[in-house]
């Protein structure tokens, strides 16, 4: 007999509390700083793409949501500092589980995840993001690829913060010292 009153007790205790309403479309709540949302392909400071088309992110994806096809850079058309670049890059967000294994697999730190979480759509084709949709925007001082390398003579200058640091680390490797 008392179970009946216990059940209604929960109802009566919440009946007079203030209702919390989120005005979602108008008041966009921020995500947590480390939230894994939409992916982004990053650029170097001169505008060249960091993606070298190695396809490691696609191999690491347990849901098989990433498709990468590498292309070769030429002296006339250079998209990344390496020998190759990601000619075709697609992420299928119908399959993506947001695990972040693709981020860990990327050797050039090209692929990162943003805090953007609104990925719902009523069209399945719109949830397959292409390279153009995933690329980071051009910031002031960046130039739209293809263009020659501006930060150094070879790809080591892009990934090791300049030739002086690269030389000092190779000398330290030979002598067995540790470089900070």
From the list 106, 21, 97, the residue with the least C-alpha distance to 62 is: 97
106 known ligand binder: yes
Identify the structural domains of the chain with CATH numbers, from first to last.
43-137 (3.30.70.3270)
**How much is the average pLDDT of 19-25?**
84
Cα pseudo-dihedral 75, 79, 83, 89, rounded to 10? -150
142 known ligand binder: no
Q: Cα–Cα distance between 58 and 77 in angstroms, integer?
A: 25
99 known ligand binder: yes
| Residue 180 reports pLDDT greater than 80 | no
| Residue-wise pLDDT tens digits, 151-164 | 888 787 787 665 45
102 known ligand binder: yes
pTM of the predicted structure, to 2 decimals: 0.75
Three-class DSSP category at 7: helix
Cα pseudo-dihedral 24, 25, 28, 29, rounded to 10? 20
Contact 66, 105 (CB under 8 A): no
**How much is the average pLDDT of 69-74?**
94
**How much is the average pLDDT of 73-83?**
91
Name the percent of the chain lying above pLDDT 70: 88
- Between 148 and 6, the more confident residue is 148
């Amino acid at each position: 007999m008392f179970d009946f009153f216990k059940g209604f007790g929960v109802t009566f205790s919440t009946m007079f509390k203030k209702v919390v309403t989120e005005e979602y479309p108008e008041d966009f709540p921020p995500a947590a700083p480390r939230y894994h949302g939409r992916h982004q392909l990053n650029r170097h400071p001169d505008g060249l793409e960091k993606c070298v088309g190695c396809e490691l992110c696609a191999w690491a994806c347990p849901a098989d949501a990433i498709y990468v096809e590498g292309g070769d850079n030429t002296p006339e058309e250079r998209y990344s500092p390496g020998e190759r670049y990601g000619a075709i890059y697609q992420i299928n967000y119908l399959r993506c589980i947001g695990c972040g294994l693709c981020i860990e697999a990327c050797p050039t730190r090209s692929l990162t995840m943003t805090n953007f979480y609104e990925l719902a759509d009523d069209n399945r084709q719109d949830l397959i993001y292409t390279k153009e949709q995933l690329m980071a925007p051009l910031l002031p001082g960046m130039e739209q690829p293809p263009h020659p390398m501006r930060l150094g003579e070879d790809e080591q200058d892009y990934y090791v913060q300049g030739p002086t640091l690269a030389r000092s680390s190779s000398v330290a490797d030979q002598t067995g010292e540790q470089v900070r």
